[in-house]
């Protein structure tokens, strides 16, 4: 029974009369109202906790990680297991060459896409810490050195 329904159905004089004639009825109504209020408070706390955890994902923690990754024609995968500061909020990648590097973020590596040529850099910034997997590879026979500056 909702609070509106509990109180809306009874007028104040009726409540006063019931409280004198049948005090247990008023107690039952009060208990229903308390249960409804407790349910609303519980729902509010759940929503607030959900909002807070979502909001915390958008705030940088201040963890800054500098990596230098040798890249070959074999796929190099950076993931939380081998890069403890992941997931990242943002990352800047500098290709120090000599070869071009193909970078894939978060999706399973499938094929070479647009290369990051020697001397170029790539900025990746997300709203939440969602950079969880980075796949790096070069064209067969080439190698490169990739510097990564990541913020958690």
User: Residue 120 sits in a domain of what CATH number?
Assistant: 2.60.120.10
Q: How many domains does the chain have?
A: 2
Whether residue 70 sits in one domain with residue 35: no
How far is CA 129 from each of CA 6, 58, 59, 145, rounded to the nearest angstrom?
46, 7, 9, 25
Write the pLDDT tens digit of every residue in 80-133. 888 777 788 788 999 998 999 998 888 765 556 778 899 999 888 876 667 888
Whether residue 115 sits in one domain with residue 80: yes
Q: What is the pLDDT of residue 65?
A: 79
Whether residue 69 sits in one domain with residue 51: no
Whether residue 145 sits in one domain with residue 70: yes
Whether residue 95 sits in one domain with residue 123: yes
Whether residue 109 sits in one domain with residue 52: no
Whether residue 143 sits in one domain with residue 74: yes
Whether residue 73 sits in one domain with residue 50: no
CB distance 70 to 143 below 8 Å: yes
CB distance 146 to 95 below 8 Å: yes
Whether residue 29 sits in one domain with residue 8: yes
| Residues counted in the chain | 152
Which range marks the domain in which residue 116 is found? 64-151
- Residues in contact with 42: Cβ distance below 8 Å, sequence separation at least 6, in sequence order: none
pLDDT surpassing 50 at residue 79:
yes
Whether residue 140 sits in one domain with residue 81: yes
Residue 5, Cβ density class (10 Å: 0-12 exposed, 13-18 middle, ≥19 buried) = exposed
CA–CA gap between residue 16 and residue 135 (Å, rounded): 72
pLDDT band at 11 (very low <50, low <70, confident <90, very high): low
Report the predicted TM-score, pTM, of the whole model to 2 decimal places.
0.56
């Amino acid at each position: 029974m909702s609070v509106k329904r509990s109180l809306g159905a009874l007028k104040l004089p009726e409540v006063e009369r019931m409280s004198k004639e049948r005090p247990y009825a008023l107690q039952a109504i009060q208990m229903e109202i308390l249960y409804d209020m407790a349910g609303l408070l519980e729902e509010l706390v759940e929503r607030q906790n959900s909002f807070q955890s979502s909001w915390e994902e958008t705030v940088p923690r201040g963890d800054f990680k500098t990596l230098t990754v040798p890249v070959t024609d074999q796929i190099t995968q950076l993931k939380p297991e081998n890069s403890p500061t992941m997931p990242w909020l943002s990352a800047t990648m500098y290709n120090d060459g000599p070869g071009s590097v193909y970078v894939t973020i978060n999706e399973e590596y499938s094929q070479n896409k647009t290369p990051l040529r020697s001397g170029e850099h790539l900025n990746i910034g997300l709203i939440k810490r969602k950079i969880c997997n980075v796949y790096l590879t070069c064209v067969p026979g080439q190698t490169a050195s990739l510097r990564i500056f990541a913020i958690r």
